[in-house]
Structure formats: C-alpha cells, structure tokens
Amino acid sequence: MSDDSAPTCLADTWSDLSAKGYAITTDEALGLPEKFRANFGQTYFNDQVLEDDPGGKPPGRKRARDVILYKWRDGDLHVQEHKKITIKDRDGRPGEREHARVDLLNDPQAEELIRTLLSLVPPDQRQSDGTFGVNLFRTVKDVVTSPHHDHEELCVIYVLDRVGGGAQTQLYKPDDVSDQGKPTADPVLTHQLNPGEIIIFKDDLFKHSTTPLEPSSGETAQRDVVVCTVDYRETYLAPPALEVTGADGSNAVTGALTRCP
Ligand SMILES: [Fe+2]
C-alpha cells in the first residue's frame, strides 16, 4: 500500500499516467482559477441540479450527468454536447438508465474544466474523436459499493469538497479482487483525495474503490466530486453489435451493423 500524493503539472501527469497507469494532480497545478471550485460547486452541487437516484448503489447519492463529444484536430480540442447521456450496465445495475442532465458547455467555467480534464490524456494516447462522460456526485456515506471497473478507457476523479474523513480512493490490481468484489490483497494505491486533487487512471489496469466517508463529530459527512470517463467508442459512437440467433439458440452471426445509405 502506498500514498502517492505529490501534485504534478500536466507534463508530469502524462508521464506518471504512462509509467504507472495513474497520476495525481491538482486543479491549481493544472491552472484552473483559484475560485473555480467554489464557483463550480455553488452552481452545480445543489438540489436544483442534482437529483436523487432511487435504487442507486450506494444509496443516498445525488447525481447529474453530461456527455461531451470531443475531437482533437492538430492539437486543438473541439467539444460539443453529445445527444445521449444514457448509462448502460453500470454500478452493478444491468440495463439502461437516464439521470438528470446538465449541459455543461453552456457555461464557460464548466467548459474550461472539461477542456482541462481532457488535456490530462497524453497527446499520443488521445482518440481523434470520442465521448467524455461527466458525472456530478454528492455522497453522504458510502461512496462506492466495492472495487470495480467502469469499463471505459480512463477514469478521472476530481474532488471539489469534502466534509469528514475517510473516502480513501483505492486502486487494486484486477486479479487482487474476487468476482464478488472482495479484495484478496492490499491496494496498490490508497489516497485520500482532498478538495482540489484529481486522479486519473487507466480503467483496465485497476479496479477502483473508495472507502466510506467518516463523519467528524457534530458534522454531517458529505463529498462532492466530478467523476469522468474517457469512453471507449462502443459506449456511444460505434454501431451496435448485430446478433442473430440461430435455430438452435446459438449466436449464428455476430458483427457490426452496416448502415443503409
Ligand atoms: Fe467507478
């Protein structure tokens, strides 16, 4: 178990991510304005934007979501709202779900955050076109249920505010977590992200988790985070897989749908 807490600038973040599969930095190191966290938190982490998630795991979490369609062209980043924000088969809940949508690109400060977080992907590892899932979460106790993959290319967690202790972000080697989500070895990283800190990691290299929030005496624990995913094309952009069931019930043909002209 280790605690790797040295904030790094963008170039260091790229090299850490390439070398270790994860990197930790801060909003300040990345050049976000000093008042960014307070302004962003005030604008979005309230009951007008965040909604309850009935049946959600963990219970009690409020959330909102956006999906950004991005393009890298000659080093320039172009962003626009994606038409869909549907989540499929996440958090151990099969099927499709819709959550409250917030169109972040209507807001210059939110666009600046999205551009900053997308820039954490090393230039040689960027997709020319892709989607970027952005989730706003307010949690009051359990942050996640057990170590898991998000099944996307990269995950980014940015802590805006935390009241209380605990909430240690943990990265495990995938083989060190049973299929039932029980760790069989210590995590390779345990780090309590403080407000302003950002972690990015390669989702396939780790199962990630966060320990429960621990209230301090006389306070109600609460943690506000932005959790993003650099998505695989299959999540929103690739054509859906075609499955044809044979007479014997087997998948006779599997492939990509060809779009008709
Ligand atoms: Fe996750």
Rounded Cα–Cα distance for residues 142 and 165 (Å) = 12
Q: What's the gap in Å between 248 CA and the centre of ligand 1?
A: 38
Residue 63 lies in a domain: yes
What are the mean pLDDT values of the chain's consecutive 10-residue runs (261 residues total)? 60 96 97 97 97 82 96 96 89 82 97 98 96 96 84 97 96 96 97 98 97 88 97 88 50 37 28
Locus of tokens 């605990």 = 166
Q: What's the gap in Å between 255 CA and the centre of ligand 1?
A: 28
pTM, to two decimals = 0.88
| Count of other CB atoms within 10 angstroms of residue 115 | 13
Residue 109 lies in a domain: yes
Residue 171 lies in a domain: yes
Question: Hey, which residues does 199 pair with through a beta bridge?
Answer: 24, 157
Q: What's the gap in Å between 210 CA and the centre of ligand 1?
A: 9
Residue 186 lies in a domain: yes
Rounded Cα–Cα distance for residues 26 and 199 (Å) = 8
Residue 233 lies in a domain: yes
Residue 261 lies in a domain: no
Q: What's the gap in Å between 136 CA and the centre of ligand 1?
A: 13
Strands 207-210 and 168-172 come out as antiparallel
Residue 23 sits in which domain range? Answer: 3-256
| Count of other CB atoms within 10 angstroms of residue 123 | 9
H/E stretch holding 19 reads helix 10-20
Q: What's the gap in Å between 65 CA and the centre of ligand 1?
A: 14
Cα angle 46-64-121, degrees, rounded to a multiple of 5: 115
User: Given strand 189-192, what is the order of strands in its sheet?
Assistant: 189-192, 168-172, 207-210
Q: What's the gap in Å between 226 CA and the centre of ligand 1?
A: 12
Q: What's the gap in Å between 73 CA and the centre of ligand 1?
A: 29
Q: What's the gap in Å between 138 CA and the centre of ligand 1?
A: 14
Q: What's the gap in Å between 253 CA and the centre of ligand 1?
A: 32
**Which CATH number covers residue 117?**
2.60.120.620
Residue 147 lies in a domain: yes
Q: What's the gap in Å between 170 CA and the centre of ligand 1?
A: 11
Q: What's the gap in Å between 29 CA and the centre of ligand 1?
A: 24
- Domain count within the chain: 1
Residue 220 lies in a domain: yes
pLDDT at 258: 31
